[in-house]
Structure 1
Amino acid sequence: MDPYLLRKLNTERAARRAVIHLTDLGDGRDRVIREGDPVAGPLGEAVTGAFRSGRSVLAEVEDRKFFLNVHLPPARIVAIGAVHISQALAQMAGVAGFDITIIDPRTAFATEARFAGIDLRADWPDDVFSSMPLDRYSAMVAVTHDPKIDDPGLIAALEAGCFYVGALGSRKTHAKRVDRLTALGFDQAIIDSIRAPIGLDIGAATPAEIAVAILAEIIQSLRHRSLAATAPPDRASA
């Protein structure tokens, strides 16, 4: 690979941005495509499919063969609330290939005994995000039922453009949440992107079943996410 392209690839990966190293197997020419870059025609369709699946593929387009080497940042789940749902979700997330971080300032809940081997932060979300910023490959799950804890996570996720933002609670609880976010200047379309009630509608009743519904919705959102390069929402101009 050309040294310039190698540096570009490494820079994008270090910044947790998705890229494809595209090589024309006929003439050896290659280039790095960032997620959101326009690529026209059938090759563009192959690029889109590769970004969505996260799998490197060999594509034949108009009698030419291309190798698409896909580099996606590891998708991660950030759960606000060290509750029973999060305990089940933490175990399932690892099996599904997601990194997961649990955040809860309530030390009675955020204990190593309840989350052994899990990245657990017994701190306020704002303090955690100052050193672990969210991005387009982060999924936010807010499940404490406490606005003082959930809202900072939701706000950070909406501002970062996370591919999934979900919050536990009834319709009445969510209506109050919407009022708070509206008062902070978030556009209605951004607020409407929050999945609430959280999780796919599978009739989940137990914490473990709710965790299954949440994880399924996260996977669905990841594989159907928008690939457009969009700027994070600006509350000041909302």
Structure 2
Amino acid sequence: MDLSLLEELNAERAARRAAVVVTELGSGRQRLVKAAAVEADPLAPQLAEALRTGRSGMLTLGNERLFLAVEVPAPRLVITGAVHIAQALAPMARLAGLDVTIVDPRTAFATPERFPHVEVHAEWPDVVLPRLGIDAFTAVAALTHDPKIDDPALIEALARDCFYIGALGSRRTHATRLDRLAEKGVPRETLARIHAPIGLDIGAASPAEIAVSIVAEIVGELRRRPAADKRASEPAASGQAA
């Protein structure tokens, strides 16, 4: 690989931006296509699909054979709330390939003992999330039911265009949350990105079952597949309290 192309690719990696290295197998020529430039590229459909799946592979166009080397940042999950659901969710998310971080200012809950093998920050979300650099390859799950903790996390996640944003609570709780965030200046159309009640509607009741529903919904968003519609009935099927 040409040194200048490698330096450019490494800069994209360091900034957690996706890119594809396109190699012409016949000539050996290579070029770098950054995620922001995919739509304008002649290979836009193929590149978009490669980025969606995160898989490298061969591509044949007529007599030309290409290799698409996909560079996608590792997906992350930031959980606000070191609660029982988070204790089940963290290991499940790690098994699904997500780097997991717990954020909760309550030092009695946010401990390494309760969350082994997971990065834990016993700090307020509005302090730690900007430092973590959450981005479009980050999922955020707000699980505390405490507006002082969850609201700043949701606002930051929306501002950073996180690929998945979910919040625990019933539809009534979420309606109140939306009003509260709207009063803080978040546009209603932006607030519509929040998945609430969090998780797929699988009738989950226990913390572990709710965690399963959350991981499934996150993976669905990550792979750009539409999640199953949630029922409009109350209470939330995942047993989330108001």
TM-score (structure 2 length as normaliser): 0.89
Give, in angstroms, the shift of residue 112 of structure 1.
2.2
Q: Distance in 2 between matches of 1:204 and 1:64?
A: 50
Equivalent position of 1:135 in the other structure: 135
Give, in angstroms, the shift of residue 50 of structure 1.
0.9
Q: Is 2:110 the partner of 1:110?
A: yes
Question: Could you say what secondary structure the match of 1:6 adopts?
Answer: helix
Question: Could you say what secondary structure the match of 2:190 adopts?
Answer: helix
Equivalent position of 1:77 in the other structure: 77
Contact between 2:155 and 2:186, CA under 8 Å: does it hold in 1? no
Question: Could you say what secondary structure the match of 1:70 adopts?
Answer: strand
Q: Distance in 2 between matches of 1:102 and 1:31?
A: 38
Give, in angstroms, the shift of residue 110 of structure 1.
1.3
Q: Distance in 2 between matches of 1:141 and 1:116?
A: 19
Q: Distance in 1 between matches of 2:10 and 2:224?
A: 26
Give, in angstroms, the shift of residue 40 of structure 1.
5.1
Q: Distance in 2 between matches of 1:14 and 1:94?
A: 22
183-192 or 79-88, which moves further after superposition?
183-192
Give, in angstroms, the shift of residue 166 of structure 1.
0.3
- Given the superposition, is the C-alpha separation of residues 40 and 10 from structure 1 closer, same or farther in structure 2, using an over 3 Å criterion? closer
Q: Deviations over 1:16-43 (max 9, x none)?
A: 00001111112222111111322556x3
Equivalent position of 2:18 in the other structure: 18
Q: Within 5 Å, which residues of 2 pair with 1:35-184?
A: 35-37=35-37, 38-39=39-40, 43-184=43-184
Q: Distance in 1 between matches of 2:60 and 2:53?
A: 17
In structure 2, stretches of 5+ residues that fail to align are 226-242
Give, in angstroms, the shift of residue 63 of structure 1.
2.4
122-131 or 11-20, which moves further after superposition?
122-131
The alignment yields a C-alpha RMSD, in angstroms, of 1.3
Question: Could you say what secondary structure the match of 1:190 adopts?
Answer: helix
Give, in angstroms, the shift of residue 93 of structure 1.
1.2
What letter matches 1:219 in structure 2? V
Contact between 2:87 and 2:115, CA under 8 Å: does it hold in 1? yes
Question: Could you say what secondary structure the match of 2:139 adopts?
Answer: strand
In structure 1, stretches of 5+ residues that fail to align are 226-238
Give the structure, 1 or 2, with the largest relative contact order (CA under 8 Å, sep 6 or more). Answer: 1
Q: Distance in 1 between matches of 2:40 and 2:64?
A: 16
Q: Deviations over 1:144-199 (max 9, x none)?
A: 00000000110110000000000000111111111112112222221001000101
